[in-house]
Structure 1
């Protein structure tokens, strides 16, 4: 079961990372205004997610990748808050989904922590 969980987590981050390049407008919309170079940050976070997702797959890099995911989730948390605060950033998402996303970050951190 732990192996299946690991593969699911890896797939989640690789898919999310690729999505930064496929649908960058979604991520650009939720960038807090005080963060510089929005487009660059969206692409860098996408690259990070892909690399960390792949890193989970190898025993040698798994622990580093898990810690990297934890750090990434903390760093991107302000974008989730921005999405909650800014109706335009929310897009068509219902408010309850955006609210639920905030504590979900804690669950994702815990999930990554299992592999540290």
Structure 2
């Protein structure tokens, strides 16, 4: 269940602005505010099934967009790659400190670390 909630949160974070205002509102109330279908239905004076249909349509829309763009998959791959690069950079800097004490290598290590920081901010 946690994986599903995480996936729905990621989909909403990446593509939520592409939903209709009503879909966004109901999706947000259901997943982020943890309201039940019945509570949302009561607040908006519609049926529980009507709320469910809107949320299911929103989920499908978000899933379809991810299937076509793959942005979330690319995001996770990029995060894994930058983490691996950061680890290698740290190892390189530690090796330089322990064996070589080369200022040029130290500077290159800092530049590499800064470039990784830039990637993570994007």
TM-score with structure 2 length normalisation?
0.34
- Greater relative contact order (Cα < 8 A, sep 6+): 1
Higher helix proportion: 2
TM-score w.r.t. structure 1 length? 0.35
